[in-house]
Every structure is written in C-alpha cells, then in structure tokens.
Amino acid sequence: MLTFETVNELTLKVTCTGNDVLFTKAGAFIAGENPNAKNYKFEKLLLGPQNSFAQAALGSLMRRVTKENLPLMKVTMTGDSVTYYADYEQHVVVYRLAVGEVVSVESENILAFSSDCKYDVRFIGCGIISQKGLATSTLTGTGNNAYVAILSNGNPIVLSNIQNRNTISVDPDAVICWMGQNGYCDPQIKTDISWKNFIGQASGESYAFEWNGSQPVSVVVQPSERRGGIKIGID
C-alpha cells in the first residue's frame, strides 16, 4: 500500500507498506530509505503502464501523436520503504482520487501516480492559439489507493464552482488540471480576436478556458504561463 504526502512543498514523499508499484516521471527519484537491504528498483517504461502489450503500444502512440508523451519510470517496491521524488524545484500537489473520479492534466505536470490510477490520453477538441493543444492526459481512480502527484511552476491556486456555481475563466497556458463532478467536464473555449491582433495590439488574453455554473468543476492553476504557441500579429 502506498501513501503520498508533500515535504516542504517541493518534494513528494511516498511511503510503502508491503509490496506495491509506483509510476513516476523518469529521473524524478531523489532519495530513499528502508530497513536492511534496499528493497525497491527502477525500470524505465518504453511504452506505458498498461499490462497488455497492445494497449501499452497504442497508448504510447497516442501520447506521441498528441504531444502528451511522458517518459515514465516504474518503481517496484518489495517491502516497507520511504522514497522521495521531485522535479527542478517545482511545487508538488497531492490528490487522492475516488473510484471512477477523473483528473484531466497536462502531461508535463504529472510527477507520479499509484497503480490504482488508469493513465490515458484523450482528445478534448479545443485546439486554439496556445501551447495547450487538442489533447490532454487523464488519470482515473480504479481503486481505493489512487494517488496522484502533480507539479506546479510556483505555488498554485485552486478555483472551484461546486458550491457557488460561478463562471470560471482561466488562461489555457496556466492550467495544470481540472476535476469535474460530471465526468470529464471539459471547458468551453472563449476567444476575443480582432483586427488589433494583426497589428500587434492584442491584450495577450485573446482566449480562455471557461466553465459555467452548470459545470461543477475544480481547476488548479499555476502562477506561470507556458511559453510558445502561435502569436498573431504583424509589424
């Protein structure tokens, strides 16, 4: 059995009792301790975490095509241990999924997840002028020990309209992940593109992800925007 917790906001601590398996971003391990001889080992996954070769190969192909590919490492634990994981001093957010609950997350923001999570990629059909593309990674809780550790470039904020049913609008390049009460709960795309974009007078906020009051959702946002995307304008 695994449990996740954060240490000093920047490190994931994974406590294992007995035998279990952990999936992390390749190279994220920084330290570990256990009684007697070392009882955990690392293996880079060439395809994916699925047990079936065909499913793993298909999943790997999907992730490469959609640019949601994440180099994964499998940590096999054969006894009690405590291990630590981090990624370039990014902040770590831990979440425990209920059975059937889904978190939609950018692949670059995934640090680790337990074997009670199903890892997949799906199209959300909302490609826009942004670093955010047409697809997103998903982690679905399949058991009672479905932990997810997510990375944030800076200390994140969480916006939720589950209680107040407010409209939530966020910059797609700052979104880390979202969790809805009704399935995937994908956002609507709102754009504000005019002739000013083409003469270099855009506000820089020409598009947004938006969830209205009929879409109960919690959204995690980092205080940093992804670099890249297409910029519309002429000199």
Domains of the chain from N-terminus onward: 2-221 (3.60.160.10)
Band (121; pLDDT cuts 50, 70, 90): confident
Percent of the chain predicted with pLDDT > 70? 74
Spatial distance between the Cα atoms of 65 and 43, rounded to a whole number of angstroms: 24
Spatial distance between the Cα atoms of 164 and 48, rounded to a whole number of angstroms: 39
Amino acid at 207: Y
Band (125; pLDDT cuts 50, 70, 90): low
Q: What's residue 209's pLDDT?
A: 87
Do residues 76 and 43 touch, judged by C-beta distance below 8 A? yes
Grouping H, G, I as helix, E, B as strand and the rest as coil, residue 66 is: coil
DSSP string, 110-172: EEEEETTEEEEEEE-S---SSS--SEEEEEEE-STTEEEEEEESSS-EEEE-TTT---EEE-T
Beta strands in 8-52 (DSSP E): 11-16, 19-25, 29-33, 40-45
pTM value? 0.80
For tokens 């293996």, name the residue.
43
pLDDT, tens only, 55-95: 444 444 454 544 445 788 999 999 999 999 999 999 999 99
Q: What's residue 108's pLDDT?
A: 87
For residues 216-230, give the mean pLDDT. Answer: 81
Spatial distance between the Cα atoms of 201 and 38, rounded to a whole number of angstroms: 59
Token digits for 220? 């995690």
Task: Examine the pLDDT at 140 and tell me if it is beyond 80.
Answer: yes
pLDDT, tens only, 170-212: 988 899 999 987 678 888 877 765 444 444 444 445 678 899 9
- CA dihedral 61→63→64→69, nearest 10 degrees, is -130
For residues 28-46, give the mean pLDDT. Answer: 93
Spatial distance between the Cα atoms of 189 and 134, rounded to a whole number of angstroms: 12
